[in-house]
Structure 1
Amino acid sequence: MKKVFLFGGQGSQLPGMTLDIRREFPQTEPLFQTAFNLNPELEGVLQSESEDINQTRFTQTAIALFSAAITQVLHENGIEADAAIGSSIGEYPALAALGVWTFSDMLRISYARGKLMAERLSKRKTEGFTDGMHAVLGLTETAITTLIEKYDQLWLTNINDERQVVISGQIEQLAEIDAELKQAGARRIVPLSVEGAFHTPIFEEEQKKLLNVIKQYPLAVSQKEFYFNRNAEPLFDASVSEVEQKNNIQLWMSEQMVAPVRFYQCGEKLFRDKTESKIEKSDSVEQFDLAVEISAKRVMAGMLRKHLKKIPTVQINSAEDLKEFLQKMKNS
């Protein structure tokens, strides 16, 4: 059975996430201790059902912890991914699921990423900037790029679908461009509840620091399927040396902080764009027998729905879900 794991990004968090996993699967305790040693306040945030979970300094570690704990249990029961896809911070546990990093090291990197980004967001506010993100429905990336070129504090942030693009930047400039987007044919513009303009050049200093952090941890090259948000390039490339592949992983995972998340292109390649030696593009949707979404909220399956129409999909967002899935796999 060929399986693809799906990992949600920032926005997929929920208050209290991970608590039942920790309680019902005590073998995951070392991961929790790693996370809490890194961020001592996180344990209290999770236990309090607090909305503080939505603060970047907590969110990213919490998502990484949730994903790592569930995936570790799956691995212990012989259930591993043949491929994986993640959005933004979700790329980190996705790579750990494929054996690129250990779960503990992935947690350390994810914590550093969240801390660096939170520090920049705080500085940005101190400097007098108010940033936001708007999802634009009904226009292509090309059409939006043409319109934002004249704005010095607006950038493309996420390409979630062919006609669903997120832009980020200063609130004032977002307000200005909204009218132009509607005039150009945007069906809907949705302001997102976020702390700042993620995946933009405002994090350039932090990207360099994150790269140095990532380089501190050993990594392995995996031949399993995965495409980077940074550029939709594959994790494994037989034409590239192992050293270069490792350098690419480190660089692209840090650059993801300052570049658009090309999730749409990643999904297209993972589920449809195959080489001639593999199954034909029109049939490729059947290549996976099962999709497993590891996310507190059901987000990824919705974003990939056109690819998952013919693939059974399971969401694991609780200890109960995890137990049921383990039993189902045991009986299959």
Structure 2
Amino acid sequence: MKKAYIFPGQGSQFPGMGKELYDSSDEAKKLFASANEILGFDISDIMFNGTAEALKQTKVTQPSIFLHSVILAKVTEDFEPDMVAGHSLGELSALVGNGALSFEDGLKLVSKRAMAMQKACEINPSGMAAILGLDDEVVEKICAEIDEIVVPANYNCPGQLVISGSNKGIEIACERLKEAGAKRALPLPVGGAFHSPLMEPARMELAEAIKETQFNQPICPVYQNVNALPSTDTEEIKENLIAQLTAPVRWSQLVQKMVSDNGTVFIECGPGKVLQGLVKKIYREVEVEGV
């Protein structure tokens, strides 16, 4: 029986997140204090006491989810993963979870990632939309036929694929996908076209930071977003992490691969239960739980 620890991405934040952790653990208190120092502002105060609107700020959202996930892993006594994975941003949390990155380096990379993505969003006004009730192949084909940048971005589970691209591309794609029989084609309240070619400026910026960061030999494989395959090779992990910003998140394929590699218990480590729900839709027979 293998334990698969999975770490959530953007959208899982909520007001008050991490407060319970802080109150119940001296180690958590130290890590939150360290995070405030590294980031140069009091992120713990925003997490514990801020509004939902305050948590939506780019410089806050991604580090908040990372901190909640990683500190939870660090204070959990029986945290012993056989395999790890994270959805988008969550891949960096997973890499701290399996020892490939230190807490400090992971947080610095998350902060740089958030800022680089924000800048890329400002260069190209763009967005994302959730497409429900169509086969992946149909969505891929329709996106490929549109003369605008619009691509599959998140393969979340069967019948749920998020697309990403220019505002015009998203608008045309949503119309055509509805005509093709999509149950819903719903624009998402996000700042830009994540996991699309429009994130190229952010990919280039993050590549420099990742190349300069020390990666250690992990204690177990990380199943990566870009190819849905396990890796313990630090150079390969780095390359895939850089490619992730402009490539789709192959979450559905990744979970299937973890199951075929004997992952039997999926434990979501971080805020919310989004990934537990997706795993159950991908593979009904496995056990899912939160930390």
Contact kept in structure 1, 2:70 and 2:270, CA below 8 Å: no
Q: CA deviation at 1:107?
A: 1.2
Greater gyration radius: 1
In structure 2, runs of 5+ residues without a counterpart are none
Partner of 1:69: 71
The answer on 1:46 being equivalent to 2:41 is no
**SS of residue matched to 1:217:** coil
Partner of 1:146: 141
The Cα RMSD (Å) is 2.0
Contact kept in structure 2, 1:227 and 1:235, CA below 8 Å: yes
Distance in 2 separating the partners of 1:204 and 1:96: 25
Distance in 2 separating the partners of 1:93 and 1:22: 18
Distance in 2 separating the partners of 1:31 and 1:105: 13
Contact kept in structure 2, 1:222 and 1:235, CA below 8 Å: no
Q: CA deviation at 1:265?
A: 0.9
Instruction: Provide TM-score, normalisation by structure 1.
Output: 0.80
Which residues of 2 match residues 21-60 of structure 1 at below 5 A? 21-37=21-37, 38-50=39-51, 51-60=53-62
For residue 165 of structure 2, the aligned residue among 166, 169, 180 is 169
Partner of 1:115: 115
Partner of 1:269: 257
Distance in 2 separating the partners of 1:217 and 1:269: 28
Give the letter aligned to residue 46 of structure 1: M
Q: CA deviation at 1:223?
A: 5.9
Q: CA deviation at 1:231?
A: 1.4
Partner of 2:130: 135
Partner of 1:2: 2
Fraction of identical pairs, as percent: 30
Instruction: Give CA-to-partner distance per residue, 1:292-323, whole Å, 9 cap, x none.
Output: 2112111011000046644443224xxxxxxx
Partner of 1:217: 213
Distance in 2 separating the partners of 1:41 and 1:73: 21
Instruction: Give CA-to-partner distance per residue, 1:76-98, whole Å, 9 cap, x none.
Output: x2431111121001111112111
Which residues of 2 match residues 292-311 of structure 1 at below 5 A? 292-306=267-281, 309-311=284-286
Give the letter aligned to residue 149 of structure 2: Q
Instruction: Provide TM-score, normalisation by structure 2.
Output: 0.91
**SS of residue matched to 1:134:** strand
Distance in 2 separating the partners of 1:54 and 1:36: 18
In structure 1, runs of 5+ residues without a counterpart are 237-244, 275-283, 317-332
Partner of 1:82: 82
Partner of 2:245: 257
Give the letter aligned to residue 145 of structure 1: E
Contact kept in structure 1, 2:116 and 2:201, CA below 8 Å: no
Distance in 1 separating the partners of 2:80 and 2:10: 24
Task: Give the direction of change, closer, same or farther, for the CA distance of 1:223–1:269 in structure 2 (3 Å limit).
Answer: farther
Contact kept in structure 1, 2:279 and 2:288, CA below 8 Å: no
Contact kept in structure 2, 1:271 and 1:307, CA below 8 Å: no
Task: Give the direction of change, closer, same or farther, for the CA distance of 1:268–1:310 in structure 2 (3 Å limit).
Answer: closer
Partner of 1:246: 234
**SS of residue matched to 1:31:** helix
**SS of residue matched to 1:265:** helix
Distance in 1 separating the partners of 2:229 and 2:25: 35
Partner of 1:104: 104
Partner of 1:278: none
- Across the two proteins, how many residue pairs are aligned to each other? 288
Contact kept in structure 2, 1:35 and 1:108, CA below 8 Å: no
